[in-house]
Structure 1
Amino acid sequence: MTATALTWCRRSPEVEAMSWTVAGVELKSRLLLGTSHYPSLQCLSDAVQASGTEVLTVGLRRLQPEAGGGSSFWQRIQSLGRRVLPNTAGCHSAQEAITLAQMAREIFGTPWIKLEVVGDDYTLQPDPFGTVEAAKALVRDGFAVFAYTSDDLIVAQRLRDAGCAAIMPGAAPIGTGRGPLNPHALATLRERLPDAVLVVDAGLGRPSHAAQVME
């Protein structure tokens, strides 16, 4: 199963129950859905339709035939009519992520980018220094940056100050499905960054995990 992410924003009572705004775009669904590791393209399509998501995260490397992608994958994504959020998954340095983001902008035709800079291959923990460095450069270059990070408050503050459109703290290590390991840290992020768009990303394996995050 692919990774999902869930927004966690404060809203006034007048705002529609599920709507939220990121990078100047209003969305009704709070679910961002990944597109990797599905057993078939039909299964991917069915999941997208059933979820009601409006945003699909797509890795540039998924367009490579050896990664199970290629033109058929991209054609299927286009046919779904959703907004695409390209990501820099697999990058290990700020410069590598910047280069891949620029390529993604040309290919997908969007300034949106989910920034991922891997710091450790075993846990897939993000590199905080490389992430902040890349975020600053990409924002200057006109990108709307969705930065994947840990639940560390200081790093999140640096990403906010860099001008990121959204900050995406992980609930648990990527692929574990263990749910929020440190709810207090996530609550602290929400308290200390009241105006930031927070998208809890990675490690959500059950509907109850998503409900816990929303609470």
Structure 2
Amino acid sequence: MQTIHKSPVQSREHRPLTIADKTFNSRLMTGTGKYRSLEEMQNSIMASGCEIVTVAVRRVQTKAPGHEGLAEAIDWTKIWMLPNTAGCQTAEEAIRVARLGREMAKLLGQEDNNFVKLEVIPDAKYLLPDPIGTLEAAEKLVKEGFAVLPYINADPVLAKRLEEIGCATVMPLGSPIGSGQGIKNLANIQIIIENAGIPVVVDAGIGAPSEAAQAMEMGADALLINTAIAQAQNPAAMAKAMGMAAEAGRLAYLSGRIPIKAYASASSPVTGTVS
């Protein structure tokens, strides 16, 4: 009987990114802050191939510098809005801003958009998320029908607890927001990925496409990258590079890399050689 060998890509499940029953082709999410102009932002979003873009609800509503006209600058028939609670220091603030974000999405034509990127960050220096406040806000928002995407430290116990209460994803940081340090907590993120039954989105700290690919090679379901794109010398080119890295890293994960060995292994066989 003929033995049928599966291709390496078939050895892992090949499926699109699905968050709260909504399917996306791209596994790269981008942001809207820190760009030098709205035109650079628009070009970068297009070049990245992303389908989800985060919007800081408070900054749009207050027309903070760099956010004037932002909501009108994006084609929301093609891009899914991910309102975020950036700037909120307590669970109560985050819950209130999440509700405002849902209304903003509706006003811009996304009537069924209940997504929220949950950020509760009382620490102004390192911008590290508050695990207790995040869990408290997430529990209430899930009960209100939100698809909650919480931004967290790379804490496997917290990640599992957020999944158990009904969050749509978990979003562990690779390193502090905007630092460009790359992934400094590989072991913890790997544990989160291995234990998760919901998508894991690596968010914050990625500075280069090689780091984006590394996160995807580990088995992350998606990435959220803002500063590394917006502050690059050529944001659109960097956005394209990050999109390509996300695809390459995902394909590498599905393919299954070779094991790391202590010694060399010849690429060419030694038998049958001419002596």
Determine the C-alpha separation between the residues in 1 that align with 2:104 and 2:208: 33
Cα distance change on mapping 1:200 and 1:113 into 2, 3 Å? same
Q: Is the 8 A contact 2:36 2:66 kept in 1?
A: no
Q: For residues 58-117 of structure 1, what are the alpha-carbon distances to aligned partners after superposition, in whole Å with 9 as ceiling and x for unaligned?
A: 0012312233323x2211023673000000001010010000000111111221000000
Cα distance change on mapping 1:190 and 1:66 into 2, 3 Å? closer
Give the aligned partner of residue 69 of structure 1: 67
Give the aligned partner of residue 94 of structure 1: 91
Q: Is the 8 A contact 1:45 1:80 kept in 2?
A: no
Bigger proportion of residues as strand = 1
Which secondary structure does the structure 2 equivalent of 1:178 belong to? coil
Give the aligned partner of residue 132 of structure 1: 135
Q: Is the 8 A contact 1:61 1:67 kept in 2?
A: no
Instruction: State the AA in 2 paired with 1:202.
Output: A
The alignment's TM-score, normalised by the length of structure 1, stands at 0.89
- For structure 2, list consecutive stretches of 5 or more residues without a partner in the other structure: 1-9, 107-112, 218-275
Determine the C-alpha separation between the residues in 1 that align with 2:14 and 2:133: 36
Give the aligned partner of residue 188 of structure 2: 185
Give the aligned partner of residue 31 of structure 1: 28
Higher alpha-carbon Rg:
2
Determine the C-alpha separation between the residues in 1 that align with 2:37 and 2:91: 33
- Residue 171 (structure 2) pairs with residue 168 (structure 1): yes
The alignment's TM-score, normalised by the length of structure 2, stands at 0.70
Instruction: State the AA in 2 paired with 1:43.
Output: E
Q: CA RMSD in A?
A: 1.6
Determine the C-alpha separation between the residues in 2 that align with 1:66 and 1:176: 22
Give the aligned partner of residue 8 of structure 1: none
Q: Is the 8 A contact 1:159 1:167 kept in 2?
A: yes
Determine the C-alpha separation between the residues in 2 that align with 1:141 and 1:187: 31
**What is the count of residue pairs matched by the alignment?**
201
Give the aligned partner of residue 266 of structure 2: none
User: What fraction of aligned residue pairs are identical, expressed as a percent?
Assistant: 43
Determine the C-alpha separation between the residues in 2 that align with 1:56 and 1:90: 17
- For structure 1, list consecutive stretches of 5 or more residues without a partner in the other structure: 1-10
Q: Is the 8 A contact 1:171 1:201 kept in 2?
A: yes
Instruction: State the AA in 1 paired with 2:50.
Output: T
Deviation at 1:158, TM superposition (A): 1.3
Instruction: State the AA in 1 paired with 2:176.
Output: P
Instruction: State the AA in 2 paired with 1:159.
Output: L
Give the aligned partner of residue 45 of structure 1: 42
Deviation at 1:139, TM superposition (A): 0.3
Give the aligned partner of residue 117 of structure 1: 120
Determine the C-alpha separation between the residues in 1 that align with 2:48 and 2:105: 22
Give the aligned partner of residue 202 of structure 2: 200
Which secondary structure does the structure 1 equivalent of 2:64 belong to? helix
Determine the C-alpha separation between the residues in 2 that align with 1:12 and 1:79: 36
Give the aligned partner of residue 228 of structure 2: none
Determine the C-alpha separation between the residues in 2 that align with 1:29 and 1:146: 17
